[in-house]
Structure 1
Amino acid sequence: MARTPMTPRTPTGSRTRTTVVSLMAVGALLGAAGAATADDSGKKPSGAPTGDGAHALCKRAPKIDKRITRILDRLNGDVTERGSITRLEKRVANAKSAGHTEIEKYLDKRLTHRRSLVPALENRQKDLASVVKWCKANKNGADA
């Protein structure tokens, strides 16, 4: 029977087709996933790491050390150094003297966090020095 402009299309027919197509797609995906899981016989994926990443860490250690040193130099810089603790201390003092208590409180929390970074980075730098020592003794982790 031909559709006339006066007979509207039933929404349930369209909904049913959409539901059927969706269910078929989900079934196909689940079937493919099940087959892939069943086919895997305990093999590692090709992109899985085989070791502890010692060689990669040994290779990146000099760059990491430079970055830590640069950050520590910035944190320990003078008032003219952006990001330094001294500069932030001055900003806190300026906010306090101006009576901007909310600004002072916000900046003081940032200052507390920034101060806590220094010992953490110094500790990381010491740890990295022992890693570099290990790398030199173990052929840059090539055997690992």
Structure 2
Amino acid sequence: MRTIATIVLLSLALSAFADSHVDLCSNIGDCRKKIHSIITDNWEPPAAFSVANVAKVSVTLSTQVIGEIESVEIIESSGSVAFDKTAIEAFSKTGTLLTLKGLENSEYRDFFRKFIIQFEAEGPPVPGVGLSDEEFVNSLPSHNGHIQ
């Protein structure tokens, strides 16, 4: 019995410590920016894709635990299974959005209970596009100073 009580107290202490070291948002705009930053930091788009990709993801958060992610669903596919998968994985890496604990319950419920986030990435650059002639020539592989 003592072990269980110790574990519960330790768990509560760790939770309080984690909450005290989270950068809580203070208003709706601030929360949007912080969520975007958190998700972006946890998103790793696939290394190789051939065209610009855009995926829209619907996110539902818990009504019981502020910031806890209940579901993540692709509502508009990029057309690339790998790209869409990385968008979903960004939320798995994120875990609970503790930053939202700085909001009033009504703001959380009205603005963040369910939201849509768009993931965008461009395909690889087309060789030579956006470069001056000299930059383009310098970007080509060379051997002993001669373009191959």
**TM-score scaled by length of structure 2:** 0.25
Which structure has greater helix proportion? Answer: 1
For the pair shown, the structure with the greater C-alpha radius of gyration is 1
TM-score in terms of structure 1 length = 0.26
Higher strand proportion: 2
